[in-house]
Amino acid sequence: MQKESNISRAFTWLEPGPVILVTTNNGKRNNVCTISWHMVMDFSPHIAITTGNWNQSFDTILHTRECVLCIPGLDLLDDVLYAGMHSGTKIDKFARLHLTALQGNFVKAPLIEECLACIECKLESHIETYGILIFKGLQLWENKSRKENRTAHAVGDGSFISDGHIITKYRKNMRTKIPDGCTRF
């Protein structure tokens, strides 16, 4: 039976996309922050994240107009939490977390070798009222050697959900709606 609940919890039903690490480079050093509010906007790929000026990476992204969106495995959840709870103005989070920075093809912000995938991005738009940054993905990098392929999904209340069970039996029925080359499994 459905029961009325507090509207302030509504987002906890929608939010569970994978928590991501966003890397930047301000010309002097690399930084990494944690973002759980993001969305894929279409197949092109355009990706939006929500953040604001409380986050050092936000200012760097506005200035450099680039970043890398990195998808960590569940085994990196402690690092993800640390990156989200500490400011890059005070510490070098790459060094503190022993993350390996790799150079991509299109942006100065680093890939994170330990992540499942990384997407080099250029900023296309900023919707200031909502702190929404819209990126165009330029290059996807995948680390197929990772043993841990599950991702962590923030519920928004300090808890996380992990995935891992992959269902592909419906793919044939949906084939006409999916662009060529975008199957992952």
Read off the tokens for 44.
């092109």
Average pLDDT over residues 123-139: 94
What residues contact 126, with CB distance under 8 A and at least 6 apart? 62, 132, 133, 134
The domain spans of the chain are 17-177
pLDDT in tens, 10-21: 665 655 579 999
The predicted pLDDT at position 174 comes to 73
pLDDT in tens, 18-35: 999 999 999 999 999 999
pTM of the model: 0.87
The predicted pLDDT at position 157 comes to 75
Residue 63 to residue 65: CA distance in whole angstroms: 6
17-177 CATH fold: Pnp Oxidase; Chain A (2.30.110)
Among 45, 47, 46, which Cα is nearest to 17's? 47
The residue type of 37 is W
Is the pLDDT at 166 greater than 70? The verdict is: no
How far the first Cα of the chain sits from its last, in Å, is 36
